[in-house]
């Protein structure tokens, strides 16, 4: 399996959350003047090649350009990180998994009538 996903590390939790992106995360630089001329073709290039473009002015990054899917994944991750209850539940789940205190999947499905 190739590692075609966006990976965020939660170092305080000792876990990695991976968001499937369908493309490798690569940062390529493109001067702002070139980006201006190629603007209409950049969405297709990003979709095909994956990654994120750093738009530069005088050699310094001033903008980041990415697919909408990538952007939404980042927003969703930030939303989760900003929600204290979700993070507490995530920490609890990680601790339970580490100590083998989790509930058997078949038992959980029966309890939830799934």
Task: Check residues 25 and 83 and name the one with the higher pLDDT.
Answer: 83
Question: What is the DSSP secondary structure assignment for residue 41, as one 8-state letter?
Answer: G
Query: What's the rounded Cα separation, in Å, for the pair 110 and 94?
Result: 22
Query: What's the rounded Cα separation, in Å, for the pair 26 and 29?
Result: 10
Nearest residue to 57 (alpha-carbon basis) of 31, 87, 23:
31
Can you list the domains of the chain with their CATH numbers?
5-67 (3.40.1620.10)
Using the structure block, give the residue that is written with the tokens 């590390």. Answer: 9
Query: What's the rounded Cα separation, in Å, for the pair 55 and 29?
Result: 6
Which residues lie below 8 Å from residue 22, measured CB to CB, with a gap of 6+?
A: 4, 50, 69
Is the pLDDT assigned to residue 109 strictly greater than 70? yes
- pLDDT tens-digit profile of 53-103? 899 999 999 999 999 988 999 999 999 889 999 999 888 888 888 887 777
pTM over 0.85, yes/no: no
């Amino acid at each position: 399996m190739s590692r075609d996903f966006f990976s965020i590390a939660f170092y305080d939790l000792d876990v990695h959350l991976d968001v499937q992106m369908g493309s490798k995360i690569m940062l390529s630089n493109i001067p702002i003047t070139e980006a201006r001329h190629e603007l209409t073709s950049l969405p297709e290039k990003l979709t095909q090649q994956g990654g994120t473009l750093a738009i530069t002015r005088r050699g310094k990054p001033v903008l980041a350009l990415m697919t909408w899917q990538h952007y939404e994944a980042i927003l969703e991750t930030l939303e989760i990180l900003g929600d204290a209850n979700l993070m507490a539940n995530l920490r609890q789940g990680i601790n339970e998994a580490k100590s083998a205190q989790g509930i058997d999947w078949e038992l959980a499905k029966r309890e939830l009538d799934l």
